A and B are shown apart, each in its own frame.
Chain A
């Protein structure tokens, strides 16, 4: 066999192997999600006996919604509300803290600036679970455990947001512009509020996005801080629902038990806001993630 023919053969078989791997990976990543969205339209019995991707009915879906939101007289709605409250409150505080801090780190000089920068980087790269128990021990000491602030305040400490803002201000705001504003008589505060801040909308949106996603999805911190079901966010509520699902926990069969499809629906509810954010900002995000890379 000539070398060209053999290399073509290798190329051909190599290509089909790679193609199969790609299809396999796509299935691996998508099948669970698609299945979950279908599962909420079926009854528990249908889940077990029908084909995995057979769609149930609208009425069944409504019944599942009914069952989920009737659980413990409307607990689920309360959890969603809590999640939204914690995530939004933390988002507001995060923005109020991070944007000026990032600005100052990028465009001003002060003592210990370098120390603050290094601390920010180091904490930013640490998994956020690493500080959960230490923060709990601290909150316990000051008597805040069980209070919404015990979740919101730690959520609001977001070094990554400061770092993003820092990068943005240090690379895309022309200093001459700020200097011109100063010459025109702006005070330092006015330079920030009138010039830098209006130009910073993109990074504000970005920090808000990541802060929201991270806080909405956080499980460990609220799990540790909030002992009462009334104050759970949705992520922690999921574990309560799980305990009340006889299919997983046979001892829970009772009036207030949850069927598998309702549990699937709860999972959908818990992920929906973030999933929608991801899809709607998809172009934005994916384009952004590849920008600087696509050389054209």
Chain B
């Protein structure tokens, strides 16, 4: 049953926060004795039969869409080969680099705040000796993870509207007395980072907390006996030992952040166009497909975004060291 609980750790999966917990069961798995020797070859295998439907779905909704998007991206509307034309078109679009800048700014703010605050709070919560207090803190941080996508954005629309907001006085004190004044374009990267942080940080805090628990007691004890204070322990023991997990969080967040779509899309509707409907790269790709009917251009942007996600993910699988590679 240990495996059951360890597998449960995968908690908290939401689109915005891929794999918050995915790592945990893996970590546990790798700390377990090596798996038993493989079955002798020659035993008739039903493996192919069992994986066939999954392989079919992997091809239909993973591999083929990717290849088809690449095909569209390097052909023109008539199907003629045009390896660079679509990329030149979309990159020549004045909105492309604006959108890329928006996304980069948002991702920068979000990932840095995750790195700093998630690690800080994980260490702090881990240091709480009172058990129920530590458990409740983790639950409170984690609960917003139940809201993802449109729900959490809607909730934040209310919070950001000084008229109705629970923090209306705070917003007014900061000089914002109307919704449009809160969501000025220059504020958006911060706003999106706050929304994404609110939804996703709790899951990561729980993951980091689990990783902290895996640091041997003797190590912490030795440091304490040597006179290290909690800050020194955090900086010189815990932080270095969390490195892989921090890298994991950064890589996944980086990949997820570049996909920014639902936040600006809803905000654009709510603001009557104050937030443009081509604020992010994914929105621009959507506009190409649905407004301009230019599927090739849309595919070109999608392929660029897909490449970013693919490269980050593949490099992490290969180099991250969190997944069992010996068996994989």
Residue positions of A touching B, CB distance < 8 A? 7, 11, 14, 18, 21-22, 25-26, 28-33, 35-36, 39, 47-48, 52-53, 96-98, 100-101, 103-105, 107-111, 113-114, 116-131, 133-138, 140-141, 153-154, 156-157, 159-160, 162-164, 167-168, 170-172, 175, 188-189, 192, 202-203, 206, 210, 213-214, 217-220, 223-224, 235-236, 238-239, 242-243, 247-251, 260, 263-264, 266-267, 270-271, 274-275, 277-279, 282, 284-295
Contact = CB atoms under 8 A, between A and B. Distances in A.
B144 A33 contact: yes
A218 B15 contact: yes
A134 B58 contact: no
Contacts of B83: none
Nearest to B164: A47
A146 to B, nearest CB: 13
B292 interface: no
Contacts of B44: 188
Contacts of B165: 52
Given A122-B310, A289-B11, A136 B269 contact: no
Contacts of A294: 213
A109 B39 contact: yes
B320 to A, nearest CB: 9
Interface stretch (B91-99, B235-243, B299-307): B299-307
Contact of A270 (B51, B150, B229, B301): B150
Contacts of A153: 57, 60-61
A32 B155 contact: yes
A127 B9 contact: no
Nearest to A34: B166
Given A32-B198, A131-B306, A39 B149 contact: no
A186 B72 CA distance: 50
B259 A295 contact: no
- Enumerate the 10 nearest inter-chain pairs by beta-carbon distance, A residue then B residue, closest first: A288-B8, A293-B213, A110-B47, A108-B47, A172-B3, A101-B54, A104-B50, A134-B65, A291-B5, A35-B166
B interface majority secondary structure: helix
Contacts of B276: none
Contacts of B27: 292
A260 B285 CA distance: 31
Nearest to A153: B61
Interface in B211-247: 211-214, 217, 229-231
A249 B270 contact: yes
A207 B83 CA distance: 41
Contacts of A277: 146
B251 to A, nearest CB: 8
A289 B9 contact: yes
Nearest to B211: A293
B142 interface: yes
A221 B47 CA distance: 31
Nearest to B212: A293
B110 interface: no
Interface string B33-61: 00110110100111111110111011011
Contact of A31 (B4, B124, B166, B261): B166
B298 A219 contact: no
B10 interface: yes
Nearest to B266: A239
B8 A162 contact: no
A285 B6 CA distance: 10
A282 B206 CA distance: 13
B193 interface: no
A90 B278 CA distance: 31
Contacts of B207: 289
B271 interface: yes
Nearest to B71: A137
